[in-house]
């Protein structure tokens, strides 16, 4: 296949949070984009309303020089086996937004393909919004397989098309992207933060403090600190919190995150590196997700959720706040937090 690296014909398979953002940004950057979706699926009408040509995944893949796979992790192996591998052109470029399946051997791409990764470090809604105002969400990119000698060009061209190259695009590997992404989610961003908030709230309530006051102190105000982190790191936080808060944080923070916490984080990382987590999650999904659903329901039914729902009903400013990706999209939940894409 002879492809034009500067403007490859692209098939975007999946049209959830990331899929829609990538497709719209690429089209606005001048690329010929076709969206591959199941006929009659929940996002087919949405993609058509956005003005895209929508074809079956097999048809879209067969016509493309670059195929962007933006469906949930757990459906990708079957999608690749049944749809992509039999239809993708010789010498085409296969692109992922997360390295999970390639890194853990659930997908072994055909030897004739270029295989790359482009992962924006933000949810789809932000990827689109930043592109529209002339900026871009920073991205990482990687090359797993370079059959044509132009795989890195394809990755950077795609990264530029979605706006990621407007910032500093960082070269990584499928291994590094996958393992650090999973670790961040499990130890800090989702798993660690959730359990820290819940434990803090429980500690105050069990000590006799009002659940509503505990909610404000342990969950609601977390946004203020995270916003400061986001804007300027720990340095900015210290610039804006009181000296009392600083002293308490500096002298008591290690009560909570100590050597034992670090040891547990290393355990989390080891289970990611040696494949234990991947094997458990793949087996859980194959068995019907009973344990996953039960654990998730436990989070949803935690008492702090009922308190928060009541308090947020009086926070009228939330009605006009920009919607998060989860609220803005009707896509089903998927394996990765911001990769909530519709299965093709």
Residues 163, 232 share a domain: no
Residues 25, 54 share a domain: yes
Question: Is residue 277 assigned to a domain?
Answer: no
**pLDDT band (50, 70, 90) for residue 26:** very high
Residues 131, 92 share a domain: yes
The answer to whether 18 and 124 are in contact (CB under 8 A) is yes
Which residues make beta-bridge pairs with 67? 11, 94
Residues 44, 132 share a domain: yes
Q: Tell me if 65 is assigned to a ligand binding site.
A: no
By the 10 Å C-beta count (0-12 exposed, 13-18 middle, 19+ buried), 140 is classed as buried
> pLDDT tens for residues 146-190?
999 999 999 999 999 999 978 779 999 999 999 999 999 999 999
Q: Tell me if 217 is assigned to a ligand binding site.
A: yes
How many angstroms from the chain centroid is the CA of residue 126? 11
Q: Tell me if 29 is assigned to a ligand binding site.
A: no
Average pLDDT, the chain: 92
Residues 156, 35 share a domain: yes
Say how far apart CA 200 and CA 12 lie, in whole Å: 43
Residues 86, 145 share a domain: yes
Say how far apart CA 211 and CA 313 lie, in whole Å: 16
Q: How many domains does the chain have?
A: 2
Q: Tell me if 38 is assigned to a ligand binding site.
A: yes
Say how far apart CA 62 and CA 49 lie, in whole Å: 23
Question: Is residue 332 assigned to a domain?
Answer: no
Question: Is residue 325 assigned to a domain?
Answer: no
Residues 156, 23 share a domain: yes
Q: What is the CATH number of the domain that holds 18?
A: 3.40.50.720
Q: How is residue 78 written in tokens? A: 């079957």
Residues 196, 158 share a domain: no
Say how far apart CA 239 and CA 128 lie, in whole Å: 31
Residue finishing a domain among 172, 198, 232: 172
Side-chain half-sphere exposure of 58, counting CA atoms within 13 A? 7
Residues 239, 304 share a domain: yes
Around Cβ 115, how many Cβ atoms within 10 Å? 25
- pLDDT reading at 211 higher than 60: yes
Question: Is residue 279 assigned to a domain?
Answer: no
Q: Domain limits at 216?
A: 189-257+289-320
Around Cβ 46, how many Cβ atoms within 10 Å? 20
Question: Is residue 218 assigned to a domain?
Answer: yes
| Nearest alpha-carbon partner for 167 in 227, 125, 122, 114 | 122
**pLDDT band (50, 70, 90) for residue 8:** very high
**pLDDT band (50, 70, 90) for residue 315:** very high
Q: Tell me if 43 is assigned to a ligand binding site.
A: yes
Q: How is residue 278 written in tokens? A: 């991947």
DSSP assigned state of 149: S
Question: Which region holds residue 14: left if phi is over 0, alpha if psi is between -120 and 50, else beta?
Answer: left
Residues 241, 154 share a domain: no
Residue finishing a domain among 128, 143, 172: 172
Q: Tell me if 181 is assigned to a ligand binding site.
A: yes
Residues 240, 122 share a domain: no
Which residues make beta-bridge pairs with 140? 119, 170
Question: Is residue 270 assigned to a domain?
Answer: no
**pLDDT band (50, 70, 90) for residue 331:** very low
Say how far apart CA 67 and CA 88 lie, in whole Å: 8
Give pLDDT, residue 252: 98
Q: Tell me if 124 is assigned to a ligand binding site.
A: yes
- CA torsion, ordered 73, 13, 31, 109, to nearest 10 deg: 60
Residues 215, 138 share a domain: no
Give the pLDDT mean for 122-137.
95
- Kindly give, in sequence order, each residue whose CB lies less than 8 Å from that of residue 245, ignoring residues fewer than 6 positions away: none
Question: Is residue 268 assigned to a domain?
Answer: no
Question: Is residue 275 assigned to a domain?
Answer: no
Helix residue spans in the chain (DSSP H): 17-28, 44-49, 57-63, 76-79, 85-87, 100-103, 124-132, 151-161, 174-183, 191-206, 211-215, 222-240, 243-256, 259-273, 276-286, 290-300, 303-312, 325-328
**pLDDT band (50, 70, 90) for residue 323:** low
> pLDDT tens for residues 60-115?
999 999 999 999 999 999 999 999 999 999 999 999 999 999 999 999 999 999 99
Catalytic center residues: 98
């Amino acid at each position: 296949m002879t492809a034009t690296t500067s403007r490859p014909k692209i098939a975007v398979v999946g049209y959830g949070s990331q899929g829609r953002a990538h497709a719209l940004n690429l089209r606005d950057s001048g690329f010929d984009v076709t969206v591959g979706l199941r006929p009659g699926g929940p996002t087919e009408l949405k993609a058509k309303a956005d003005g895209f040509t929508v074809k079956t995944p097999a048809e879209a893949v067969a016509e493309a020089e670059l195929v962007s796979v933006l469906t949930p992790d757990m459906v990708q192996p079957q999608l690749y086996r049944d749809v992509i591998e039999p239809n993708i052109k010789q010498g085409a470029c296969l692109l992922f937004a997360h390295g999970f399946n390639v890194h853990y051997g659930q997908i072994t791409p055909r030897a004739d393909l270029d295989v790359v990764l482009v992962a924006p470090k933000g949810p789809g809604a932000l990827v689109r919004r930043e592109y529209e105002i002339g900026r871009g969400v920073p991205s990482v990119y990687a090359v797993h397989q370079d059959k044509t000698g132009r795989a890195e060009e394809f990755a950077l061209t795609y990264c530029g098309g979605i706006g990621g190259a407007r910032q500093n695009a960082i070269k990584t590997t499928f291994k590094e992207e996958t393992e650090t992404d999973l670790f961040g989610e499990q130890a800090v961003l989702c798993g660690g933060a959730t359990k820290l908030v819940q434990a803090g709230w429980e500690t105050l309530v069990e000590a006799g403090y009002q659940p509503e006051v505990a909610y404000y102190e342990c969950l609601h105000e977390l946004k203020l600190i995270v916003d400061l982190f986001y804007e300027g790191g720990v340095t900015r936080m210290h610039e804006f919190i009181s000296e009392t808060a600083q002293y308490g944080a500096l002298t008591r923070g290690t009560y909570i995150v100590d050597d034992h916490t670090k040891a547990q984080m290393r355990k989390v990382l080891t289970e990611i590196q040696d494949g234990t987590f991947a094997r458990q999650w793949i087996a859980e999904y194959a068995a019907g997700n009973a344990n996953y659903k039960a654990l998730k329901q436990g989070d949803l039914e935690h008492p702090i959720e009922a308190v928060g729902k009541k308090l947020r009903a009086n926070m009228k400013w939330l009605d006009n706040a920009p919607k998060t990706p989860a609220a803005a999209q009707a896509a089903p939940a998927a394996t990765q937090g911001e990769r909530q894409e519709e299965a093709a």
